[in-house]
């Protein structure tokens, strides 16, 4: 009952050349945001906290 007709790829971006992938990741807005957040601690107590309760359920 849990099966799907979709593949389970090890690398969903394997059709993207590795150097292009790394280039994209080097400019990643998500990564830049996270680096900034760690630098200034802004993720603690910010709006992101309200997105989900802190406990997985």
Partner 1 sequence: MVEVDTILLKVASQCNINCRYCYVYNMGDDGWVDMPNFISQDTIKAISKELNVLKTTQVRPFAIVLHGGEPLLVGARRLENLLSSLRIVIPESYCISIQTNGMLISNQILDICSRFKTSISVSLDGTEAIHNTNRVGHHGEGTFQRVMAGIEKLKAHPDTKFLFAGLLAVIEPHSNPKNIYNFFKSIGTPSVDFLYRDGNHDELPYGKSSFNSVEYGSWLASLLDVYLADPTPIKIRILDDIIRLTLGGVGVKEGVGITDFGIAVIDTDGTITKNDTLKSTYKGADRFIENWNINTHSLNEIFTSKQFADAQKLQRATSLVCQNCPELGICGGGMPLHRWKTETEYRNPSVYCSDQLHIINKVKKLLLGLGI
Q: Which residues make up the interface to partner 1 (CB under 8 A)?
A: 1-13, 16, 21-22, 24-31, 34-35, 37-38, 41, 43-45, 48-57
CB of 32 to partner 1, least distance (A): 10
CB of 5 to partner 1, least distance (A): 7
In sequence order, what are the residues at sequence separation of 6 or more whose Cβ sits closer than 8 angstroms to the Cβ of residue 10? none
As a whole number of angstroms, the distance between CA 55 and CA 24 comes to: 32
As a whole number of angstroms, the distance between CA 40 and CA 57 comes to: 29
CB of 30 to partner 1, least distance (A): 4
């Amino acid at each position: 009952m849990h099966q799907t007709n979709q593949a389970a790829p090890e690398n969903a971006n394997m059709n993207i050349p590795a150097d292009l992938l790394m280039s994209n990741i080097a400019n990643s807005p998500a990564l830049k945001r996270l680096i900034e957040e760690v630098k200034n601690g802004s993720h603690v107590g910010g709006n992101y906290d309200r997105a989900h309760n802190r406990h997985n359920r």
